[in-house]
Amino acid sequence: MAALIMILVSAMFFPGIILRTKSIASGRRGPGILQPLRDAGVLLRKGSVFSTTTGLIFQIAPVISLATVLCAILVIPFGKQEALIHFEGDFVFFAYILSLGRFFMIIAALDTGSSFEGMGASREAFFAMLIEPAFFILMATFAMFTGYVSFTDIFSNFFITSNHYVLIFSIIGFYIFIQIALVENSRLPVDDPKTHLELTMIHEVMILDYSGFDKALIHITTWLKFAVYGSLIYNVVVPAGWNIYLQIALFLAVQALFAIIVGFLESFRARNKMNKNPKFILTVSAIAILAFAVILILNLNL
């Protein structure tokens, strides 16, 4: 329950911190941290407009996408507190429950009958397929490192081991989870949420036909996904046995740092050319493979 509450709270401020960081980095006064919440509140009070070419899938996709993220949160632990739902191999459930939400958003884009949205859906599916191995290789590395195959058990025992390589794998996990979050949420350098050129849009072109309440749900889902990956980053850099009040403070600090990193990346990093994205994403998987190979060699030598 603690993980659910902390993720929901941090998700409310995550987009505002990104926006504020980008404003400061570009020398502008910019909006306040709560501006994205105000914008979402305006959208929630508006009705939705549906094209006559769309069907039921288009209408229910935002709700299903939000529901899948909320379900994924339930398998994430916080410190020594177990996740609300935990079982062996729950990180596989985590990955594919998020994929289910993405699947519905992809077929919802196809449901519009728009060639532009179909193009964005194709790119979204392709990049999601490429980044998936990085997550599973990283989790397999952690599973081999700790001897457990559940989020709760892995993160509870990650820092207990006397292995001197724990710091290295924490840094690798920190980096890879950030890159996965950027790809999963269609941010720079893979995608640009502020672009208006349809030929280069990916996620944003998929949701062009959404408005009002449904558009707000899509934004909230993105914020929650960022906070979810921020919680995974927290679990690989902060030992589970520390004082609970210190852990709460560090959780919020890690989430804020994650948002600031995203803000700086979007301020100073250019978007990749479309044909460079597959190479970039596969590089993330290659780094995960290196970590896995190190663990495998260490285990063989023991």
Summarised one tens digit per residue, pLDDT across range 94-135 is 999 999 999 999 999 999 988 888 888 999 999 999 999 999
Token duo for residue 147? 């001897």
SS (H, E, C) 215-248: HHHHHHHHHHHHHHHHHHHHHHHCCCCCCHHHHH
Q: How many CB atoms sit inside 10 A of residue 301's CB? A: 6
For residue 68, pLDDT beyond 80: yes
Q: Do residues 152 and 231 touch, judged by C-beta distance below 8 A?
A: no
Token duo for residue 240? 């589970």
Question: Taking residues 216-225, what's their average pLDDT?
Answer: 95
The pLDDT tens digits for 49-60 are: 888 888 899 999
Domain map (residue ranges) of the chain: 2-301
For residue 302, pLDDT beyond 60: no
- Per-residue pLDDT band for 198 (boundaries 50, 70, 90) equals low
For residue 301, pLDDT beyond 70: no
Angle at 14 between CA 179 and CA 74, to 5 degrees: 75
Q: Measured between alpha carbons, how far is 20 from 23 in angstroms, rounded to an integer? A: 5
Token duo for residue 48? 């939705």
- pTM, two decimals, is 0.93
Ranking 41-50, 70-79, 191-200 by mean pLDDT, the lowest is: 191-200
Q: Measured between alpha carbons, how far is 9 from 22 in angstroms, rounded to an integer? A: 21
CA 171 to chain CA mean position, Å: 18
